[in-house]
Amino acid sequence: MLKAGKMNEIADEMLKTQLQIIALQELRWKGVGQINKTKYTLCCSIEKTGQLGTGFMIQTPEHNKLC
């Protein structure tokens, strides 16, 4: 997900297919965190090297049920 707009592209597909939560692999950012958007939340954990990252993209109504 290094390319600009890739996160939004994945979120659009998630919303279009009405998935509530998706697992993501091979994230290339550094660190641990959460990105809150209007329609979804991305939670991720990535090693200091910027490789081997994993995360979940969750639709916002479902995120509110989990947290």
Q: Is residue 51 part of a domain?
A: yes
Residue 38: CB atoms within 10 Å? 6
pLDDT of residue 64: 61
As a whole number of angstroms, the distance between CA 16 and CA 2 comes to 22
pLDDT of residue 30: 73
List CB contacts of 38: < 8 A, sequence separation 6 or more: 60
Q: Is residue 1 part of a domain?
A: no
Query: What is the per-residue pLDDT across 14-67, written as a single tens digit (0 to 9) for each?
Result: 989 999 999 998 887 777 888 888 889 888 887 777 677 888 999 887 666 665
SS (H, E, C) 4-22: CCHHHHHHHHHHHCCCCEE
Query: And the tokens for 47?
Result: 């090693």
User: Domain range spanning residue 15?
Assistant: 6-66
Q: Is residue 27 part of a domain?
A: yes
Q: Is residue 54 part of a domain?
A: yes
pLDDT of residue 67: 53
What pTM was computed for the model?
0.72
pLDDT of residue 12: 93
The domain tally of the chain equals 1
